[in-house]
């Protein structure tokens, strides 16, 4: 039986493992983190294509998969309606996708707390060397270890993430923590706030125990704000003891004054309804936004997948869907090549590299007006100054089938 090693046990790795197992491969997943990842609480947008991959794996999709929002609204800083768009979409939570994928993979094939050190490959296969366990040999190694991929760093060292010029403040709060009057006024909509050069999104997602009933859900917010890499970002990432954690810091270590400033800015710039969500979120955190393009998605017997290969800014709302489609294409390519891994990887690289490049290009365009906020006004292009609600609200997290450059066959 052909065997694959998957490095990275998050969503991309689980999609890859389950898709390959469905074609008859023996697959083991190695995750660096030492415990279950289901505690991650971020909200995510979904696409029908994502659900299609899950259904083909035998995962049932029911109403608990997410909260259906029927329209998008943009509110000004006084809470007045600026623009409205009818667009039905299912908003889910990261863990709601992770759990069924994890449950589908037999526990003996998922290995926690395993850090990859290096890989070696030859014409017949690939060997993975770990810090605290014997090496593992396989016919194929799949790098699904994210934007800071250890595998990519070895295989394609020049492919480095690039900072986009802004961060995303994020948070999740139980819906019942928000006053009933505010909940009723929002009506379960997908909300936008568009201060100059910024973008706030807030929407309902499944609550505790995947509860999607009104009053039992959660609100998720994402607030994109320009942050200078050298001057402002280190300050955000410095804890109360004066230690700078680089470009990211664990949420509990974010200083109180940094959170107080963020909330004060929300009161100054955002609609009161959205401010209620921000104010009542117990542990906001921020994520520096990067993008990444790899020149190849296959090197020898190694395949890059998901964020290990291409990272698009979150405005396309497609990170999870892209990883699922990468995994499906890889499994289909292998099945179609009748066991010839090299032929399969040539096809996989050709098709998914084109798609990944298009997604990244689109996400850069959608985030251009935020990135350009750090430029002098005279240096901004017309596209970098276009923040019209009717444009932003239509394109952010749009349905894959509605995006012409992505809906067409790649390659």
Q: Is 3-45+96-161+292-369 in CATH node 3.50.50.60?
A: yes
What does the alpha-carbon distance between residue 303 and residue 291 come to, in Å, rounded to a whole number?
19
Domain 63-93+162-289 class, CATH top level: alpha beta
CA-CA-CA-CA dihedral for 376, 379, 381, 386, to nearest 10 = 10
* Rounded (10°) angle between helices 341-366 and 319-336: 160
Going from N- to C-terminal start, the domains of the chain cover: 3-45+96-161+292-369, 63-93+162-289
What is the length of the chain? Answer: 411
Determine how many CB atoms are found less than 10 A away from the CB of residue 88: 10
Half-sphere exposure of 133 (CA within 13 A, CB side): 14
What pLDDT is recorded for position 411? Answer: 36
- Walk along the chain (411 residues) and give the pLDDT tens digit of each residue: 899 999 999 999 999 999 999 999 999 999 998 877 766 667 889 999 999 999 999 999 999 999 999 999 999 999 999 999 999 999 999 999 999 999 999 999 999 999 999 999 998 899 999 998 999 999 999 999 999 999 999 999 999 999 999 999 999 999 999 999 888 888 889 999 999 999 999 999 999 888 999 889 999 999 999 999 998 999 999 999 999 999 999 999 999 999 999 999 999 999 999 999 999 999 999 999 999 999 999 999 999 999 999 999 999 999 999 999 999 999 999 999 988 999 999 999 999 999 999 999 999 999 999 999 988 988 998 888 889 999 999 999 988 888 888 865 443
What pLDDT is recorded for position 409? Answer: 46
What pLDDT is recorded for position 382? Answer: 86
342 contact partners, CB below 8 Å, separation of at least 6: 301
């Amino acid at each position: 039986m052909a065997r694959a090693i998957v490095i990275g046990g998050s969503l991309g790795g689980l999609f890859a493992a389950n898709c390959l197992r469905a074609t008859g491969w023996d697959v083991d997943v190695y995750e660096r983190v030492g415990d279950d990842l289901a505690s991650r609480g971020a909200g995510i947008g979904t696409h029908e294509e994502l659900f299609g991959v899950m259904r083909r794996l035998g995962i049932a999709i029911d109403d608990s998969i997410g909260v259906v929002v029927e329209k998008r609204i943009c509110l000004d800083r006084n809470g007045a309606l600026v623009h409205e768009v009818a667009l039905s979409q299912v908003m889910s939570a990261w863990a709601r996708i992770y759990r069924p994928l994890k449950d589908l993979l037999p526990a003996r094939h998922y290995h926690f707390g395993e850090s990859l050190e290096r890989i070696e490959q030859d014409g017949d296969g690939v060997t993975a060397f770990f810090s605290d366990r014997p090496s593992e040999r396989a016919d194929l190694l799949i790098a699904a270890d994210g934007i800071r991929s250890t595998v990519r760093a070895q295989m394609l060292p020049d492919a480095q993430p690039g900072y986009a010029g802004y961060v995303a403040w994020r948070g999740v709060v139980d819906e019942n923590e928000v006053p009933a009057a505010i909940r009723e006024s929002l009506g379960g909509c997908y909300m936008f706030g568009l201060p100059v050069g910024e973008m706030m999104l807030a929407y309902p997602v499944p609550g505790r125990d995947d509860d999607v009933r009104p009053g039992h859900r959660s609100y998720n917010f994402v607030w994109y704000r320009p942050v200078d890499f050298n001057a402002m970002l280190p300050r955000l990432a410095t804890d109360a003891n004066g230690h700078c954690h680089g470009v990211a810091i664990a949420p509990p270590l974010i200083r109180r004054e940094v959170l107080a400033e963020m909330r004060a800015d929300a009161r100054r710039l955002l609609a009161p309804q959205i401010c209620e969500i921000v104010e009542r979120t117990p542990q906001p955190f921020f994520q520096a936004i990067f993008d990444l393009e790899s020149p190849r998605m296959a090197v020898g017997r190694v395949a890059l997948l998901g964020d290990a290969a291409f990272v698009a800014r979150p405005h396309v709302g497609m990170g999870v869907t892209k990883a699922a489609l990468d995994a499906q294409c890889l499994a289909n390519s292998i099945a179609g090549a009748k066991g010839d891994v090299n032929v399969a990887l040539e096809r996989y690289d050709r098709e998914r590299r084109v798609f990944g490049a298009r997604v990244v290009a689109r996400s850069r365009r959608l985030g251009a007006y935020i990135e350009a906020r750090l430029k002098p006004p005279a240096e901004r292009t017309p596209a970098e100054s276009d923040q019209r609600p009717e444009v932003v609200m239509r394109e952010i997290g749009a349905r894959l089938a509605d995006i012409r450059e992505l809906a067409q066959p790649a390659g």
